[in-house]
Amino acid sequence: MRFSWGYPIAVAAAFVACKGGGETPAGPTPAETTSAAAPSVAEAPAPPKEKPKAVAREGSTIARSPMDDALYVADEDRGVVHVIAAPVDVEKPARTVKVPGQPAQVLALADRVLVTIRSEGAIAPGTELSPEERTASAAPAPTTSASAAPAVAKAKGPEKYEKPKTVPSATGPGLLLVMRPDAEKGLVIASRIELPEDAWGVAVTPDESTAIVTSAWTHKVSGVDLATGKVRFTVDVAREPRAVVVHPSGKAAYVTHLVGTELTRIDGIDGEAASAKRIKLPASPLRTPVGMTSNASLAYSAVLSPDGKKLYVPRHALGGLGPQVWMGVSAVDVLLTKDDTPLAPTRLAGPKMTASAATGMVDDPETGGAGPRSMPNPFVQPRAVVYMKSRDTLLVASEGTDELVELYAGPIDPSLFIAGKVELRKDPDPKYKVATGCGAPSGIALAANERTAYVFCRATHSMEVVFFDSGRNQLMRLGEEPLPAQAALGRQLYYNGTDDVTSGGMGCAGCHPEGRDDGHVWHEAAAVTESPNFFAGAANIPGWAAEKGVNGGLARQTPMLAGRVVYEGPYGWHAESPNLTHRLTNGFLLHRWGALPYGHERKELTERAMALRAFLRLGLVPPPRKAREMTDEEKKGQEVFLRVETKCAGCHVPDMDYSDRAPYPVYSKLPPLQGFDEDPELGYKTPSLRFVGGTAPYAHDGRFSTLEELIERNDDRMGNTNQLTKPERAALVAFLRTL
């Protein structure tokens, strides 16, 4: 493994003997067992052969069998599970097992393989296309070139055009499949348990009797008795629950979320009545401006230390400080399970220094604030993490940079202490430089000796075998690309954070995970050049931007993409882009630090934008929409919504995906939120209401935290809601959640 040290800071260099050691985590301990007199040797029966325990109790996109005879890969984009015989021969094709939907995670037990299915009946992107559609070549791009992106043009309304082909929402329930290894078929379904839609993460209790499953879009966590297949409990939690890790006691579980900083602890998972509790875990507090907090996103994974005393959560800290980190900083936040407190302390003004400024806190004129001196983000878009016991380190899959990053597990902020990096086999495309070998690593499985890692590469449908000692990695292709060539390129660009034309350090998936949203309000400011850029927090805006009259920038909440980009245009908060390609091209200017790289051509931008447009429509899967009859309250809400005097449907036109796509000055009399500048452009485009129930907070600046608050505080700015009774307002909210 190649080593590249970061710049340590004095406050983070302390290892955790003072706070992280000591007693076992809080919570009930297993009952003590009593011993009876042992029978004589002659009478003693042969001890039963114990089944080997799972290698990991948390699911991932790739898992190793406890018997070391197979690897299992959940290939969500193709709707299959791959079974790879071990020892791995990359020239030997894997067995491909079709499953009834898109598999999110896989977890291998001794005699069973658990697979979460996001929604039964979901169509994997591209698999329903005809051969002609699948092999369609990229549309020709304009031949003109220029040194700048196309100018922004105002659009007044939707274009008339033929509705493009898109991926439909699934209507079935989420599933937990209990599968059994089969010599002929690879895997066969032994049982299937219905769960809330969008089943995603899975973990098992130490005795492997109970599976805990998260359902992302429906924000639920369920407990399943694996012996009976009975769902023993389902609890409601915050937005986008993802990874789940079971406490060593077997009585509680920790759940991460794709949106926000807090975790959820589920207590009573060994019984019938579990309960949920929110746990505070500040995002990278040592790199957050004094007196402020950073938002967080992308907490796809988590792992416990071997003794269960620390929970490590790789994610993105939106607003953290560092050199040119317009998007914030990558972090590994650590929770002490003894008392559910964060390991890293809150940053105080004027920290005491025990090292020189070169290795400690510095005033960075580029960010306009004081923060630890560190290298650029060690990883981008973390997707998976494993603990390497032999080295006391963490191995993180960096989706945006196609790397594995090894971090020391002991420091307060492990992301500042890099033990080494492994650049995966990229085989870069000669024109676009994106990986065609191992692109967008999303899962890691370690060999028993921890000298080899198996990495699933989502964007390229491949697995890389990483040999840490020799560096002679091997690549295994897992199947043909189901999408047309243009959309397939769009997928590679979507996850990639190294293409300096598309974005300045983070891929599209960094703000729009799975085409959804990070729940964050970005700051748009022309702080580096004359063109505006996005910044994660006001402190990320360069200090010298104040000379231009920029304080906090304009508020820009991340919009959801999946299922909302069917219409050709217009796009942008002010409807400034006449079509989707134009919006994507302008986005290349926004999502970076400063200007586009020197020497770019308009043709390059257009080609990339058209590829991304194809992927957004053919490759992103909208959230599930359960097929059911509306309740009486929801029907009443629909009637309220459609009333002429309420004026909801006049702008949110049902036949146009609930948006007329025209701008209106709905918030012209409201002052900007603290930390943002006043927007000189008052007209905001009508947003689509598709999937609005799962995209809190609301408005361009996120000032409304719930739909209920949005309706209560609307004050006739969007439609006429003041005259509605409380039951009518509740019914309207209920209807909106069905869209």
- 672: closest CA among 554, 581, 572, 505? 554
How many CA atoms does the CB half-sphere of 390 hold within 13 Å? 8
Q: Residue type for 56, please?
A: A
- 238: closest CA among 260, 207, 271? 260
Q: How far apart are CA 11 and CA 413, in angstroms?
A: 9
* 3-state class (DSSP) for residue 131: helix
Q: How far is CA 199 from CA 106, 109, 241, in A?
A: 12, 19, 10
* 3-state class (DSSP) for residue 235: strand
Q: How far apart are CA 484 and CA 495, in angstroms?
A: 17
20 sits in which H/E element? helix 17-20
Model pTM greater than 0.85? yes
Q: How far apart are CA 688 and CA 563, in angstroms?
A: 10
CB within 8 A of 418, min separation 6: which ones?
A: 3, 4, 5, 6, 375, 378, 405, 406, 407, 408
- 475: closest CA among 484, 486, 466? 466
CB 503 within 8 A of CB 463: no
Residue-level pLDDT at 163: 59
Q: What CATH number is given for 485-618 in this structure?
A: 1.10.760
CB 538 within 8 A of CB 628: no
CB within 8 A of 87, min separation 6: which ones?
A: none
Residue-level pLDDT at 543: 79
Helices (H) and strands (E) in the chain, counts: 9, 36
Burial group, residue 428, by CB count within 10 angstroms (0-12, 13-18, 19+): middle
Residue-level pLDDT at 490: 95
Specify which residues 107 forms β-bridges with: 114
Q: How far apart are CA 460 and CA 78, in angstroms?
A: 11
Burial group, residue 151, by CB count within 10 angstroms (0-12, 13-18, 19+): exposed
Backbone φ, ψ for residue 304 (5° rounding): -90, 150
Q: How far is CA 584 from CA 59, 125, 439, 576, in A?
A: 34, 21, 21, 12
Helices 580-590 and 602-618 pack at an angle, to 10 degrees, of 110
Q: How many residues does the chain have?
A: 739
* 3-state class (DSSP) for residue 614: helix
Residue-level pLDDT at 152: 31
pLDDT tens-digit series, residues 616-661: 999 999 999 888 899 999 999 899 989 999 999 889 999 888 988 8
Q: How many CB atoms lie within 10 A of CB 436?
A: 18
CATH of 632-736, one of 3.30.365.10, 3.40.190.10, 1.10.760.10, 3.40.50.1100: 1.10.760.10
Q: How far apart are CA 376 and CA 6, in angstroms?
A: 9
Burial group, residue 263, by CB count within 10 angstroms (0-12, 13-18, 19+): buried
Residue-level pLDDT at 545: 79
- pLDDT means over runs of 10, the chain (739 residues): 39 40 36 36 60 91 96 96 95 94 96 96 78 48 31 38 71 96 94 97 96 97 96 96 96 97 96 93 91 93 96 96 85 96 82 40 48 68 97 97 96 93 92 93 96 96 93 90 93 93 91 95 89 90 80 92 89 92 92 82 90 94 90 92 90 89 86 89 90 91 91 89 92 92
Residue-level pLDDT at 421: 93
Same fold, 485-618 and 632-736: yes
How many CA atoms does the CB half-sphere of 9 hold within 13 Å? 24
CB 469 within 8 A of CB 422: no
Angle at 179 between CA 173 and CA 184, to 5 degrees: 130
Specify which residues 557 forms β-bridges with: 521
CB 435 within 8 A of CB 492: yes
- Per-domain residue ranges for the chain? 485-618, 632-736
